[in-house]
Amino acid sequence: MAHQWRGVIREYAERLPVTEATKVITLGEGGTPLVHAQQLSALTGSDVYLKVEGMNPTGSFKDRGMTMAMTAAVAAGAKAVVCASTGNTSASAAAYATAAGLKCVVLVPEGKISMGKLSQAIAHGATLLQVNGNFDDCLDIARKLGESYPVFLVNSVNPARIEGQKTGAFEVVDWLGDAPDFHVLPVGNAGNITAYWKGYKEYCAPFESATAGTLPAVSTRTPVMWGFQAAGAAPFVAGHPITEPDTIATAIRIGNPASWDTAIAARDESGGVIEAVTDEEILSAHRWLSAREGVFVEPGSAAGVAGLIKKHAAGEVPAGKTIVITVTGHGLKDPQWALRTEDGSEVQPVKVSNDVVTVAMALGLEEK
């Protein structure tokens, strides 16, 4: 019988801080497709794969961490959870809190989150407050709320989130048979680059499981990590926090990443880089993915692809390698960008009358 995916906690229980007795909060996250990107592979001469995280239950990679964070919240006896978010974390927290029977409070930067994400948080019944500030201000308040009030913090500063998100690396290795040569991804608050690097390292060495003894190494190597930030919100490139981050890729509009040191460690231990791509490069990669690969992502999710294309143009992408790019969130989260042409004008669908001859003419078809 075909195997039904059971969510990341049950699939990887031996490598996560859970036991048989843990009450697992899951919506069946993980097990996302690793799509061979034919045009990016042709461009670079390497085998390029896309880890399509938009296929998670709420449409982003955040669900991998949220199943762990919400499971931890329930174990801790919490009644309410809180997070700051550029949108995806709030959508995920709201859905998983509903599944757990907990109240959920989300703090988002006013006017800077996409309609899709806003509607998810509202639909799942979260209490949503728009803060007159940016994501970094929201996270500051969320942390203080978690410290001084009876609400459980589910941002990625909570280590349970990183534990859940490291399963992305496990899945890549399980499906490729070994780690790729390069792993490429967008960097915002830097939880995901931290989590992937942790996952790759744990899979490449014997692992002391809390429940299953010593597990042998699964992979023979770890990848080089390449992270990409939006140019207007690139604190790792600047080498210091940015007070006024700005980019159309609202998901990664972050100036003071919480996981600073662990992102630097992932970059340096892996021999990798964290570089910047412009909004134009992000939108061009967004278009490339939808029009050439058949994969629809939100703009922030295209930053890794934009980075690969940029490095290829600079002659910095070796051929004959295996490259995995995490595309982090679904295109339907923020669909407006697909309705703009390259010169910025709005796409207007052609209107026709209700008649086959007119439709055929509009299509330039001649009768056979």
Spatial neighbors of 49 by CB under 8 A, at least 6 apart, are 34, 35, 36, 37, 172, 176, 180, 322, 323, 324, 325
Binding mask 239-258 vs ligand F0G (x if CB under 6 A, - otherwise)? ------------xx------
Nearer to ligand F0G, 13 or 187 (CB): 187
Least distance to ligand F0G, CB of residue 137, Å: 13
The one segment of 26-34, 81-89, 141-149, 338-346 that binds ligand F0G by CB under 6 A: 81-89
86 binds ligand F0G (CB under 6 A): yes
Nearer to ligand F0G, 50 or 187 (CB): 187
Least distance to ligand F0G, CB of residue 242, Å: 14
Nearer to ligand F0G, 46 or 256 (CB): 256
Number of residues located near ligand F0G, criterion CB under 6 A: 22
180 binds ligand F0G (CB under 6 A): no
60 binds ligand F0G (CB under 6 A): yes
Neighbours of 147 (CB within 10 A): 9
154 binds ligand F0G (CB under 6 A): no
Pairing between strand 207-209 and 127-131? Answer: unpaired
85 binds ligand F0G (CB under 6 A): yes
Binding mask 300-339 vs ligand F0G (x if CB under 6 A, - otherwise)? xx--------------------------xx----------
298 binds ligand F0G (CB under 6 A): yes
Nearer to ligand F0G, 13 or 158 (CB): 158
Answer for which of 58, 71, 167, 192 binds ligand F0G (CB under 6 A) is 192
The one segment of 10-18, 188-196, 271-279, 280-288 that binds ligand F0G by CB under 6 A: 188-196
The one segment of 2-10, 172-180, 233-241, 294-302 that binds ligand F0G by CB under 6 A: 294-302
Q: How far apart are CA 161 and CA 172, in angstroms?
A: 18
What does the H/E/C string look like for the chain? CCCCCCCHHHHCHHHCCCCCCCCCCCCCCCCCCEEECHHHHHHHCCEEEEEEHHHCCCCECHHHHHHHHHHHHHHCCCCEEEEECCCHHHHHHHHHHHHHCCEEEEEEECCCCCHHHHHHHHHCCCEEEEECCCHHHHHHHHHHHHHHCCCEECCCCCHHHHHHHCHHHHHHHHHHCCCCCEEEEECCCCHHHHHHHHHHHHHCCCEEECCCEEECCCCCCCCEEEEEEEHHHCHHHHCCCCCCCCCCCHHHCCCCCCCHHHHHHHHHHCCCEEEEECHHHHHHHHHHHHHHHCCCECHHHHHHHHHHHHHHHCCCCCCCCEEEEEECEEHHHCHHHHHECCCCCECCCCCCCCCHHHHHHHCCCCCC
187 binds ligand F0G (CB under 6 A): yes
Least distance to ligand F0G, CB of residue 235, Å: 11
Answer for which of 7, 87, 116, 331 binds ligand F0G (CB under 6 A) is 87
Nearer to ligand F0G, 16 or 94 (CB): 94
Nearer to ligand F0G, 208 or 269 (CB): 269
Interacting residue ranges for ligand F0G, rule: CB under 6 A: 60, 62, 85-89, 156, 186-192, 251-252, 298, 300-301, 328-329
